[in-house]
Amino acid sequence: MADSITLIVVGVLSDRLRVRKPFMVAGAAMTIVMTIVLIVQAGYPTTGYYSDVLVVALLGVAIGVTYTPWMAAYTEAVEAHNPALTATGLAIWGWVLRIVVAGSFLILPLVITTATTLVDNQTQGAELQAFQAAQPYSPSLTAAPPSSAPIPASVVAQLNATHQPGAETTAALVQAYDRTPAGSNGSRLLGALGALTPAQKTLATAALPALQRALGAVQAGQSPDPKDLATLQATSPNELAPLVTAGEKLIPAQKKSPNEWKTWWWVCLGGQVVFLLLVFTMKGRWSPKAAKADLEAREKLVEEELASLVVLDREPASATV
């Protein structure tokens, strides 16, 4: 939406001011800055959804500032060579664009190798992220006492959104632990367990600790302990045991994915820099005043040409008379 609105607004402004290059330079500079922000942000796993939305929206605005004036400048450059070649020039542009897009789709999977793994395991990936977010707050998932801060409501919602017993048990346990009066970690944990259902107690005392140990091993690049896998298979064969299996693929992919995307975005950034430099080779004025003077001079030339044609048209008639 931001990109669409910017395209129209900037197009109108560019036509009114009769210049293209200042918009292209400003837009390209903004695009480069926002791409760098996107690259830096990719290195922080705690980056929120709305932070990404804001960066991508601003990137869209920057691209909009660049694109419309460039499209106009391109057609004007073609017309400067030969007005009859405008359609040919646009055809060549469309042809090159499709070649670049098709080539990018062929190259992208070679650079972003983790996309298939993450997309094919979205459900278990969401649950895994929920457990990872809850880990600092859950007494059943840490050997040391959990964080003294209460679990954020967003993390509880993330756990419950999975609609899986293990995740919902974790949410119930942590909330019960937070409500338990201050005391030792052990006493508070016993009090929290007392607030759970029998099925939840089984998960909290056996399955969840085994899950944390197994995922911790995978996180460290090791194989999970067979005893923990056996515990998970016995207590949660349809949820937590498959989650560890998926985690052996997802956790390495989670680690690799940000750097792979950074690599791709650095390539994009290189293209943006080349575009910015090429703006200075394109036809067109930088100053609206100079562009207006060019337009007035051209209109004057056209009027003189039309006037000479009128004179030439009248001369034969006078000779005949």
pLDDT, tens only, 185-201: 677 777 878 878 888 88
135 or 186, higher pLDDT: 135
Percent of the chain predicted with pLDDT > 70: 92
Answer yes or no: is pLDDT of 274 > 90. Answer: yes
Whole-angstrom Cα distance, residue 60 to residue 101?
18
Using an 8 Å Cβ cutoff, are 235 and 203 in contact? yes
Using an 8 Å Cβ cutoff, are 10 and 69 in contact? yes
Which two structure tokens, joined as six digits, stand for 261?
């995307």
> Which long-range CB contacts under 8 A does 180-185 form with residues at least 24 apart?
185/139, 185/145, 185/146
pLDDT, tens only, 296-305: 787 788 777 7
The vertex-211 CA angle with 205 and 217, nearest 5°, equals 135
Using an 8 Å Cβ cutoff, are 141 and 212 in contact? yes
- Say what angle helices 165-179 and 122-134 make with each other, to 10 degrees: 20
Percent of the chain predicted with pLDDT > 90: 24
Q: What is the pTM of this model?
A: 0.72
Using an 8 Å Cβ cutoff, are 250 and 42 in contact? no
